[in-house]
Every structure is written in structure tokens, then in C-alpha cells.
Amino acid sequence: MDEYKAWAIAALTRAIKTAAQTAVSLIGTGAVGFTDLDWMQIASVSGVAAVVSLLTSVAGLPEVADGKSPLSSAKEV
């Protein structure tokens, strides 16, 4: 159970960082005013990036147990 918890924490941390990086890249250099930004689009694209990050993490994370996904070590019934 601890490996699932460690994986979930690492995957969520990575997804949050990915969403933040995506938002920063969409905001840009400030060429437009703060109120002129399309915040719904920024939130939407950042959310999709976070979901993609979580799905990619299912394959494994280098931060956890030699990079293996806890799903790959599950025993078949």
C-alpha cells in the first residue's frame, strides 16, 4: 500500500507542476493586460495537461521504486 501512496503523491506533484508550467507558458510575457487573458482557456488547457501527465505516470515514474508503476507489480488473480 505504501508504494501506491508514494506513486500517487509523485504523480500528483508532477501533474500540478505540469499544469502550472502550462499556465505560465500560455500567459506569456505580459504582452496583454491581466484582465485580457482568456482564463477559461488557460484553465482548460492546463487541466488537460495535468490529466495527460497523470496518464503518462501510469507507465512509471523515475521518482518511485526504480521508475516502475505500482500497477505493473500487481498480482494477477
Query: What is the domain partition of the chain in residue ranges?
Result: 1-17+36-58
pTM for this model (two decimals):
0.78
Going by pLDDT thresholds of 50, 70 and 90, the confidence category of residue 52 is very high
- pLDDT attached to residue 58: 86
C-alpha distances in Å from residue 67, one per residue of 11, 27, 74:
12, 32, 15
Compute φ and ψ for 39, nearest 5 degrees: -65, -30
Residue 61's nearest CA partner among 19, 2, 8, 1 is: 8
Residue 7 pLDDT: 85
* Separation in Å, CA 62 to CA 3, 11, 70, 74: 13, 10, 12, 18
